[in-house]
Amino acid sequence: MANIENQKFIALDISRKNYLSWVLDVKLHLSAKKLRHTIDEDNAASNEERATALIFLRHHIDDGLKYEYLTVENPLELWQNLNDRFEHLKAVVLPKALNDWSQLRFRDFKTVSEYNSTLFKIVS
């Protein structure tokens, strides 16, 4: 629980721009801390594990979201609330990525690194 006060990655923005990368970061960090099960359905997490996971989640969300979900005391409930609020992004981002992929042409770039950069943005 050392260094729990330091942000490990960029907090979830209320404008939802970084939601998809934030979800991946949270899952990885909770897994590394052996707390991933606290955001899974039907978990048997202890109160201490829930509190630690909730502190971690609240520390990595925008202040506006903190105030909105101030009364939530379970990390699973907070995770589900955020998921319900932002999950529709996959339906928005995937068609755009597919369109960008179909429009991607090597000859439109001056260098291979520019092409690779754009390619990796689409893939991610």
Domain-located, residue 53: yes
**Cα separation, 6 vs 27, whole angstroms:** 17
**Cα separation, 85 vs 100, whole angstroms:** 25
Domain-located, residue 1: no
Domain-located, residue 110: yes
Domain-located, residue 54: yes
> pTM here?
0.69
Domain-located, residue 100: yes
Number of domains in the chain: 1
Q: Chain-centre distance of CA 101, in angstroms?
A: 23
Q: Identify whether the C-beta of residue 59 lies closer than 8 Å to the C-beta of residue 7.
A: yes
DSSP state for residue 13 in the 8-state scheme: P
Domain extent, residue 85, equals 18-123
pLDDT tens per residue, range 56-103: 999 999 888 899 999 999 999 999 998 888 887 777 777 777 888 888
Show Cβ contacts of residue 11 under 8 Å, excluding neighbours closer than 6 positions.
22, 59, 60, 61, 62
Domain-located, residue 8: no
